Every structure is written in structure tokens, then in C-alpha cells.
Amino acid sequence: MKTLKIAIQKSGRLNEKSVELLKNCGLDFDNYKSSLISGVSNFPLEILFLRDDDIPEYVQDGIADLGIVGENVIQETEVEVVYLQRLGFGKCSLKIAIPNSLDLNDVTELSGKSIATTYPVILRKYLKAKEINAEIRTISGSVEISPGLGLSDAICDLVSTGGTLKSNGLKPFCNVMSSEAILIGKAGIENHEHVQELLQRVQSVLRAKETKYVVLNIHKDNLNKAIELLPGVKSPSVVPLADEGWVAVHTVIPESDFWDRINLLRQAGAQGITVMPIEKIIF
Ligand code: PRP
Ligand code: ZN
């Protein structure tokens, strides 16, 4: 069967996490910064290292079968690709930001203003939906310096930590879209046997990230109380201890409310709570 190709970002905010995800899926490949393409020794896959802005079109046109890229880039290029999986990393938002000195209270006040951006497609749709009549100045980079240079009144750019805005005397004004890394595929590729295998591996890695493996000791009298506090994959395993009054409980706890559950378990009499990272969860 034909070797699949997956395109990932060569350098930038998604590169490291994309490589980490593929490695965690058990794929063995070299990650040389200089190479454009890398073979996977233990899976029928080749990895293409590309500029993120090119990835959606390469996937749409079938030059790559799969890609990992920010949703902002996908929306901006208006391609037809299939969303296979949201990946939960590379979270950021596309925001309109204005100079600290500018006082605006409502988005409608952007009417008549100029906004510099590298995301004209998304911005145009946003302004249209809000019925704002602003001028879009499309530039190719360093958007954050344009108000300071007098090139525009505002900007529309990606914000992650907010550091870039701050150091350029800008403040976030409104959210245009939220974005994260997405695993995309060319239309129809989702039925490919190896894509399904890869997708399953990706999902098992993502599930594992959301949960922790927990072992705790508890007196038998308190066991039911503790079990009520535990979700587990099916139900927790209960293992007898040498001390007959006590048992060890093995289970999986979601990261989201981890500390709340741990505190409730301690109140219920749990002792020696040991928490371990999980590598994969396969259903
Ligand atoms: C974005 C954006 C800002 C910066 C914001 O660029 O254009 O420069 O990140 O991040 P911060 O809020 O953490 O300071 P990116 O690194 O994605 O490069 P690119 O737009 O050239 O792809
Ligand atoms: Zn880019």
C-alpha cells in the first residue's frame, strides 16, 4: 500500500508539539532541522516539514495526505480538507488589538478605522458579520508595529501569551477566532486503513494526557465512599493489602478536576496517594 505523507510545521509554535505527538504515537523518525522530508522506519508514513501557511493547500491538493496545522491557517486559506482530530495544543486566538492610548468601547466603533493583518480573509468575514465598515490593510508580517508607524489604527493578529502586544503598546480589543492545532486530511483519506490506525494512536495519546493514574490505600470501611468519588475507565480495581482491614485502589482520574477529587479522597480517608502519568489509553 502507498506510503502516506503527513505535513507538519518546520519551525515555529507547532513544530515541537507536533513532533512530540508523532513520537508518542510510536513513530520512529529522524527530526533533523535541515531535512524537508523524513521517513518513518516502523510505519508506512513520511513526514514533510513545511511552512505552516502552505500546509492546508498541500493537503487539499494531495501533495500531503495529512497535516498538522493551526485552525487559523486553515480558515484563512479556505481550503477543503477534513478535520480528523483537534489536538489540544497550539492554543491561541486571533484578536483585534488597538493602541493603549485609543479608547474604544464597542466593536462597532471600529467603523472607519484601518486594521492591519496577515489574516484578511478571516477578518473580512468577521467585520461583515458584525456589519463593521473598516478598512483592511493586508501586510505580510510584523503586524504589531504598524500602528506605531502610523500605517493603521488597529491590528488583527494571533495572540498567545500577549507578550507581543504588550511590548508594542497595544491592548487586546476583541476576539475574532480561537484556534488550536488540528490534524487534517485530504477529502476521503479518513477511510484509509493506515489513517485510521494513526488516528487511533493519536486519540489514545490525547486521552492519556487528559488523565492520571492514581493508586491509593484506604480502610475497607471507607471504600464505598472513595469509589463514589472515582470515575475510572470502567470501575476502579481494588487490590487486597497484607493488612486485612485495608485495600489499594487503582484508578484513572481526569486532569480537569484532579485536585478537587484528590482532596475529597483524602477527606474520605485515602492515604499514600500515588499519582503517575499515563502514556496511552487504548479502548
Ligand atoms: C504570532 C503573532 C505574534 C506572536 C504573538 O506569530 O504574529 O507575532 O505570535 O504571540 P504572543 O502573544 O505569545 O506574544 P507566530 O509566531 O505565529 O509567527 P507567524 O505569524 O510568522 O507564523
Ligand atoms: Zn506562519
161 and 202 fall within a common domain? no
All residues at 6 or more sequence positions from 166 whose CB lies less than 8 Å from its CB, including other chains: none
User: 136 near 127, Cβ under 8 Å?
Assistant: yes
Q: Write out the three cell numbers for 162.
A: 500577549
Is residue 283 domain-resident?
no
Q: Render pLDDT for 111-151 as a digit per residue (tens, 0 to 9).
A: 999 999 999 999 999 999 999 999 999 999 999 999 999 99
Query: How far apart are alpha carbons 113 and 122 in whole angstroms?
Result: 17
Question: Which pLDDT band holds residue 2 (cuts at 50, 70, 90)?
Answer: confident
Over 70: is that where the pLDDT of 64 sits? yes
Q: Are residues 8 and 148 in the same domain?
A: no
Give the residue, by CA position, lying nearest to ligand 1 atom 9. Answer: 158
Q: Which atom of ligand 1 sits closest to the CA of residue 158?
A: 2
Same domain, 35 and 160: no
Out of 142, 156, 160, 161, give the residue to mutate to test ligand 1, the one with the largest number of ligand atoms within 8 Å of its CB: 160
What's the number of domains the chain is made of? Answer: 3
User: Between helices 193-209 and 15-24, what is the axis angle to 10°?
Assistant: 100
pLDDT of amino acid 1: 64
Q: Which ligand is nearest to the CA of 92?
A: 1
Distance 52 CA to ligand 2 centre (A): 5
**Residue 39, all three cell numbers:** 521517513
φ/ψ of 189, rounded to 5, equals -70, -20
The tens digit of pLDDT for each residue in 166-218 reads 999 999 999 999 999 999 999 999 999 999 999 999 999 999 888 899 999 99
Residues 203 and 100 in one domain: no
> Which residues, 6 or more positions from 70, have their beta carbon under 8 angstroms from its beta carbon?
13, 14, 52, 90, 92, 179, 180, 181, 182
* Reported pTM: 0.86
Whether 35 has a pLDDT exceeding 90, the answer reads no
- CATH number, domain at 29? 3.40.190.10
Distance 130 CA to ligand 1 centre (A): 25
Residues with Cβ within 8 Å of 22's Cβ and at least 6 positions away in sequence, in order, are 6, 8, 29, 47
Cβ–Cβ under 8 Å, residues 107 and 161 = no
Give residue 218's domain range. Answer: 211-277
Residue 265 has pLDDT above 80, yes or no: yes
Tell me the three state secondary structure of residue 40.
Answer: strand
From 13, 55, 158, 180, give the residue whose CB has the most ligand 1 atoms within 8 Å, as the site to mutate.
158
Distance 13 CA to ligand 2 centre (A): 9
Report which bound ligand comes closest to the CA of 53.
2
Task: Give the Cβ contact number of residue 74 at 10 Å.
Answer: 20
Count CA atoms within 13 Å of residue 15 on its CB side.
15
Is pLDDT at 235 greater than 80 in this prediction? Answer: no
Full strand arrangement of the beta sheet holding 114-117? 135-138, 114-117, 154-159, 92-99, 170-179
Q: Which ligand is nearest to the CA of 95?
A: 1
> Residues lining ligand 1, CB < 6 A?
12-13, 52, 141, 144, 157-164
What does pLDDT average to over the chain?
94
